[in-house]
Structure 1
Amino acid sequence: MFEAILFDFDGVLVDSEPVHYECWNRVLAPFGFQMTWEQYARNCIGVSDRAMIEALCDLAGRPEWFDGIWAQYPAKKAWFRERIAAHVPMPQSTRDLLAELQASYKLALVSSSGRHEVVPALEAAGVYGAFSAIVTGEDVRNLKPSPEPYLTAAGRLGVRRALVVEDSEAGQASGRAAGFEVLAVSHADETAPAVRRRLGLG
């Protein structure tokens, strides 16, 4: 039925959102503001980094902070790369699943995160070679919930029938708008069993 499986990154393959959350709060500390996890989860998951900073400024009631926070974005990326490379929060069940799936399906990773965040984590987890295509925020003009990221991945793979695995509302909307079936998960630990059930794997 499916020619390919298209995976989101944060929250689907890796439990990286807590790392992003900690890094963003490190950026915000000099401004005297800290997000709660609930605020982060509600406003900052599945959106572009510029949109995230706008959301942070709105939460703090300080739109004038945007330029100052944006100037710290390179430092945030460096902290994230350092943390994620030291310990990739990818379940072993997901690593095993990817190794099994690549024998029967074309696999792609589709993320709004930057390539500098995604690729080192995949390499450290030993799964980079499982993916025939990687589409990140730099590769498209319109991020999720636009269908462009998933359509771009399908085009690179040369497929029309794909299963999208997503956790965020924006990502799920993107997959549906691209015309693909979407399998929703709420945490990286759910990904492997959910995909196995949907594909009828033992």
Structure 2
Amino acid sequence: MGRSAFAVIFDMDGTLLDNNPYHYKAWVEFYKKRGYNLTEQDYLQNISGVPIRSHLNRFLGKLVEEEQIAQLSEEKESLYRKLYEPYIKPIDGLISFLKQLKETSTKTAIATSATAENMKFAMDHLNLWPWFDEIVDTTQVENGKPAPDIFLKAAEKLETAPEKCVVIEDSFAGINGANAADMKVIAITTSNTAETLVPHSLAVSNYNNLTVEKLAGLFSD
């Protein structure tokens, strides 16, 4: 079978694994120690899928020095990994879907706001490394999500035009960034409802019924 005419770009958190409840628990504990009671709405709208420096200043009510960001980030991420490790697993149907993409020679990438440690944690535990051609994180771009930079960088590395890319995302920031990159968008509803993750071309709750043929159909207009 020939190579697909399109490429697929995945977010990681909430898209490859349903880990956002554990990120939320870790952030609640992190901010509680600092006198801020984080709500789920705060998390979904201002933290999920967004680089840490974008929300520390907002919720701590002060400018956080650049040298402190790495230390604060690792404190929270270490807590997240401890909370999630006993429960880590891929989203239903993911591995079968990745096999379809591999069998059809469809180019694949990850475009994530996750830290390098969290990415390695997930990829190692779930043995996901062989399934992806490229991985792009926020250290490789000037602006994180909701800017389109990370998706455009992934398309560039995959040598595929943005309009020939499909992005699978679960967060508001990611959906906005993918649309700004002029890519097809599949909303996966692990963290938010399909009605709020707009605009999108398709919405799914997992990968059980997602096929390469359905993705190809997004380009048939």
Flag whether TM exceeds 0.5 (same fold): yes
Does 1 or 2 have the higher relative contact order (CA < 8 Å, sep 6+)? 1
Map 1:1-202; keep pairs closer than 5 Å. Answer: 2-57=5-60, 63-64=61-62, 66=64, 70=69, 71-104=71-104, 105-160=106-161, 161-187=164-190, 190-193=205-208, 195-196=210-211, 198-199=214-215
CA apart distance, 1:109:
0.6
**Structure 1: runs of 5+ lacking an equivalent:** 58-62
Per the TM alignment, residue 5 of structure 1 is displaced from its structure 2 partner at its CA by 0.7
Q: How many residues align?
A: 195
Q: Is the 8 A contact 2:45 2:172 kept in 1?
A: no
Distance 1:165 1:150 in 2: 11
Q: Percent identity?
A: 25
Q: Structure 1: how far apart are the matches of 2:207 and 2:165? A: 17
Higher normalized helix content (fraction of residues):
1
Q: TM-score, normalised by structure 1?
A: 0.83
Check whether the contact 2:9–2:109 (CA below 8 A) recurs between aligned residues.
yes
Question: Aligned-pair distance for 1:49?
Answer: 0.6
User: CA contact under 8 A between 1:7 and 1:166: conserved in structure 2?
Assistant: yes
- Normalising by structure 2, what TM-score? 0.77
SS for the counterpart of 1:81 is: helix
Structure-1 residue corresponding to 2:197: none
Equivalent position amino acid for 1:175 in 2 = A
SS in 2 for 1:25: helix
Distance 1:64 1:176 in 2: 32
- Retained in 2: the 8 A contact 1:132–1:157? yes
Tell me the amino acid that sits aligned with residue 195 of structure 1: L
User: 1:60 matched to which residue of 2?
Assistant: none
Structure 1 residues 134-180: Cα deviation after superposition (integer angstroms, max 9, x where no partner): 11111211111222111111111111221111122221222122221
